[in-house]
Chains A and B, each alone.
Chain A
């Protein structure tokens, strides 16, 4: 199969409210809020949600050579990582994807922090983080639905540059393969992604049985 890349302009998600609250340290059994406090936090989260522009891109690549130390895929690309190789040992192809919540949410959080609005800044930050995580989960779910018909399924775990022994510099390869800059995401010299609410991932494609 080919290795065309596919862009998703708008990832539709229900707001992962529970997770946002958890990230903020809320304990569902212990934490109590007054109506005014709840209103303030809820309003900040709602505003944060409206600032997230969830976009993504994914591509499928054939694995041409597998060893316990490295995986060759696509047109001569290589991931050197024993742990990633272990994840992909049952896979004939792999999927790479990236999702971002966009620049607005990150810039707005910084702006609020600068203005002394800590609650707003925190809420935006937690919302951006959870929205982009949920978007990554969504892409995995979406791809599983796509692949199901061909009797294929994604590995349950996914991997990212910077995890385990897969060096962070591999982000550059992901950016090249998926044209991630088209999502408005840039890579710094140290291979960090800006805006920071961005996730890249690699997963294997396996036979469903």
Chain B
């Protein structure tokens, strides 16, 4: 029982990170129709920048500055690589994101070398633990879960109750009509890249103490996050949360039946099964834009 609980918590911990990556996918996908395969790089950059800054700044400041820097970096990517490309096909843009993912990794390798780094624990240290329902957890797990929950709640408010949030939804629902009521759709796309990058960076910071930061961590996270987004249904950020948690849980529990070296297989199996059987996701409508059309 305690064993199962332990799996459960480790599942929802990695799951919340996948969820944030999946939300990042969705934010950009909704605003531009592009699947951004450099999403995992935002997570890696967030962690790396924060680690570098933490060497001379207090951790909370380092995290805040890292998130801000990566947010601007995300906006910059859109301005430089996508703004002038609107007439090109979605496929071109997706390939650009794959290229960017490779370039960012190489740059990270040069800047931060191949050492595995990590931020210090936000509270306590690697030895400390809290008891929750009988399972022993690192306090950082609470940070990860809390951050994910707050991000999801704030994002929901942002989308439903604010001028820019609604404008972003309008752009994804009907860009032409959005433009005609005076919304600068180009700027909304830039903002979507920034928001997505910032969230990714935040995730990169909170998981750094437990899962470490490495220049190559991006693509793996991107694939898991993508699996989560597809599982929930692309274009629906809140479904991505459920998708993320499910991928995390399946991965964690798979360890009890298959060797742990194979746990990545679980995520990829879900991804393939969903793409074949239900490309519109668990919560999506088949009438919406499905991954098949991309």
A pairs with B: no
Residues in chain A within 8 A of chain B (CB atoms):
none
Residues in chain B within 8 A of chain A (CB atoms):
none
